[in-house]
Each structure stands twice: as C-alpha cells, then as structure tokens.
Amino acid sequence: MSIADPIERALSRSGHRLTAPRRAVLDTMRDLGNHFTAEDVQHASPAVGRATVFRTMKLLRDLDIICQVVLDDGAVVYQLNEEDDSQHHHHVVCSECGKVAEFASDGLERVLDDVARATGFEIDAHRLEFYGRCAACHAR
C-alpha cells in the first residue's frame, strides 16, 4: 500500500517506522502552522512522551522535514519545510504575529563572492534570516 502523505512517505522510504506518536507529532506541527519549539509540540500533544518529541524532532531535522529558524533574539525554533522545498531557502519572520515566509536567495551570490574575496574564506554554506512585519500586520 502506498502512503498518501508526502512526509509520512518520506519517513517510510528512508527506512523509519510510521508510528502513532510520529503521526501525532507531525499532525501537531501542521496544526501549529507557524514555527514552534519542542515545548510547543509537547504541550499540544500531551499524549506523546517528552523524550519521543525530542527524538522525533531530531529525526525530522536530519531528514530535512523541519528546519531551524533563528529569531531576532537568537532563539532557535523549528518549522515544517514547505512541500518539496527541502531545498536551501531562507526565512522572513514577522516580529508581530510570528508568521514566517520562505524565499530562495538569488542575489546572494554576489555578496558571497565579495566576502570570499575580502576574507580569503572558501564559503560553502550560509544562513540568512530577515525580520520585519508581514503585509497584514503592516497594514494595521
């Protein structure tokens, strides 16, 4: 039987078992919608053991199903990657409602080259986050 949900399929295909607690954690993350911490997930799924929440989140992180978002204040939270977008991308975080949008970086190449030249570093990865106010919060 083939699995309908793409995330559950990815889990299964990578050799991991599709268990009730894992489904519960995934559903919770979808319900939370925005970014969340392990504590958020645990709180919204009290039936799942604390350790399992951490173990599941670590697994999902390794599989690139969730990704880290670094907030303005340095706190690190997580977010489900958008469908088929386990690609490299960045985040814009709304400081009012917490909404996060993703975007792909194109123009960053130039900055990267400049920095490589100026510092002598060979750069192979980066992290970029923007902070501001989303259209809705901005309008108010």
The site for a second copy (CB under 8 A) is made up of 68, 70, 72, 74, 76, 92, 94, 101, 103, 105-108, 110-112, 114-116, 118-135, 138
b/e string for 55-78 if b means 16 or more Cβ within 10 A?
A: ebbebbeebebbbebebeeeeebb
Asked if 61 interacts with DNA (CB under 7 A), we say no
CB nearer to a second copy: pick between 23 and 134? 134
CB nearer to a second copy: pick between 5 and 128? 128
| Candidate list 12, 34, 86, 95; residue touching DNA; CB under 7 A | 12
Q: Which amino acid is at 121?
A: F
Q: Cα 6 to the chain's mean position, in Å?
A: 16
Q: Which two tokens stand for residue 62?
A: 């390794």
CB nearer to DNA: pick between 58 and 126? 58
What distance in Å separates the CA atoms of residue 79 and residue 135, rounded to the nearest whole number? 20
- Site residues (vs DNA, CB under 7 A): 12, 16-22, 37-39, 47-52, 54-56, 58
